[in-house]
Amino acid sequence: MKTLNMKLARIPLAGSSIGAVECRMVLSALQSGRLALGPLARKLERRLARYVGVRHAVAVSSGTAGLHLAVRALGLTEGDEVITTPFSFVASSSCLLYERVRPVFVDIDPKTLNIAPTLVEAAVTPRTRAILGVDVFGLPADWPALRRIARRFGLALIEDSCEALGTSLGRLRCGAFGDVGVFAFYPNKQITTGEGGMVVTNSRGIAEACRSMANHGRRAVGMNWFEHVRLGYNYRMDELSAALGIAQLTRIRTLLARRRRIAAEYRRLLADEPGITLQADPPGAVVSWFVFVVRLAPEFSRADRDGIIKTLYSRGIECADYFRPIHLQPVFRNRFGFRRGDFPVTEAAADRTIALPFAPSLTRQDILRVAAELRRAIAVRKLGRFTRQPVGGSSV
């Protein structure tokens, strides 16, 4: 058992920060006897709307449910096209498939890894109805540019801000730029409700449509329990989740500051590592970090990246290959006939990204260890390339 004891402690990729406030508020919700359709979800909605700077918020059971409602509230349907990014978590596009809306992917900006506005403009067709942008890894998409394009062509603008609660760009917070925005509260996000999400909008019509659809199609106001005025779902957030969310939101400054400190520490320790590039904050942005992602230099292949991740895992360091491009996911590839090479900037980035451990529980020692192990793994991989034939597939 000695060898087991000597094993280095595992450093987790992600995690939540659950403290005394969370425990107290969830217990109190539990003891209230009101577990669903109560005052806490409403309270979380009001507070989150105020925090983001929008008029309306509708609490839902997940970010994905929120995206689905956003798509439906905008009336998007079969035959419509929505321009979006292939470099994202799958849910930002599966929400379109639920309604048989066609995702029209365009490539990303190689610096921010967010959708490239000039390419969006070039992809507009008579069938285009909306632009769906994503704040990848917490970095804001170029919302002012996307909004200009949306206005010029009469398109709706959907913000998947599921990774960017608290990020601002200029005077606005992410979620407040478009016709409708969506946040997610899965345990690895900036704040958590267990499972949960929030739709935000300045439009009363969109808010009421989402509220109604999330609640079996009952009327949003003056609800009659057995009257269903539209096709609805059960996408409601329960009261225990809402209690957790309220507690987390009261601590959001602390939670975001901790994430910012971890990111700053990684940047300081890795700034001079020639094997990687770090994401730079877009001008005018204050970033609320979702994950901390480094990108290997172009000389490295996907096999190199996978090898480095494997090495880090063997050293007790959890990391991940965020994101595998959506157009190459079997469900999209098979349906639309996408191929490798369709979105080269996305693919080149996706082949070389490594998300480093970014849990709130990380200590300075953990961060030092991750940085040192990453440098070592990169150096070993580089050495291997000179001393033997490279193994595995090519990069693109």
Ligand X SMILES: *Cc1c(COP(=O)(O)O)cnc(C)c1O
Indicate which residues carry an active-site annotation.
189
CA-to-CA separations, 246 to 20, 257, 308, 365, in angstroms, rounded: 13, 18, 39, 31
What is the spatial distance between Cα 117 and Cα 170, in angstroms, rounded to a whole number? 18
Q: Nearest-CB residue to ligand X?
A: 63
Give the residue with the Cβ less far from ligand X, 140 or 197: 197
Contact 267, 293 (CB under 8 A): no
Minimum CB distance to ligand X, residue 186 (Å):
4
Q: Please state the separation of Cα 381 from the chain's center in Å.
A: 30
Give the residue with the Cβ less far from ligand X, 184 or 285: 184
Minimum CB distance to ligand X, residue 134 (Å):
5
Contact residues toward ligand X (CB under 6 A) are: 62-64, 88-89, 91-92, 134, 160, 162-163, 184, 186, 197
Tokens 């192990």, residue?
373
Stretch (H or E) spanning 67: helix 63-73
Minimum CB distance to ligand X, residue 194 (Å):
10
Q: Quick check: helix, strand or coil at residue 335?
A: helix
Give the residue with the Cβ less far from ligand X, 113 or 276: 113
The secondary structure of 93-140 as a DSSP string is HHHHHTTTPEEEE--B-TTT-SB-HHHHHHT--TTEEEEEEE-GGGPP
Minimum CB distance to ligand X, residue 233 (Å):
14
What is the spatial distance between Cα 158 and Cα 182, in angstroms, rounded to a whole number? 8
Contact 326, 105 (CB under 8 A): yes
Minimum CB distance to ligand X, residue 220 (Å):
22
Cβ contacts of 93-102, under 8 Å, gap ≥ 24: 93/326, 93/332, 94/64, 94/331, 95/64, 95/67, 95/68, 95/70, 95/71, 96/71, 96/132, 97/331, 97/335, 98/68, 98/71, 99/68, 99/71, 99/72, 101/71, 101/76, 101/77, 101/129, 102/127, 102/336
Give the residue with the Cβ less far from ligand X, 91 or 270: 91
Regarding beta strands 292-296 and 285-286, do their DSSP bridges make them parallel or antiparallel, or are they unpaired?
unpaired
**CA-closest candidate to residue 13, choices 371, 272, 358:** 358
Give the residue with the Cβ less far from ligand X, 88 or 301: 88
Cα Rg of the chain, angstroms: 22
Regarding beta strands 172-173 and 168-169, do their DSSP bridges make them parallel or antiparallel, or are they unpaired?
antiparallel
Minimum CB distance to ligand X, residue 64 (Å):
3
Give the residue with the Cβ less far from ligand X, 120 or 184: 184
Give the residue with the Cβ less far from ligand X, 184 or 242: 184
The contacts of residue 210 (CB under 8 Å, 6+ apart) are: 58, 60, 66, 69, 70, 73, 180, 199, 201
Q: Quick check: helix, strand or coil at residue 323?
A: coil
Return the number of other C-beta atoms located less than 10 Å from residue 228's C-beta. Answer: 14
Minimum CB distance to ligand X, residue 90 (Å):
8
Give the residue with the Cβ less far from ligand X, 133 or 275: 133
Tokens of residue 311, six digits? 């090495």
Minimum CB distance to ligand X, residue 345 (Å):
18
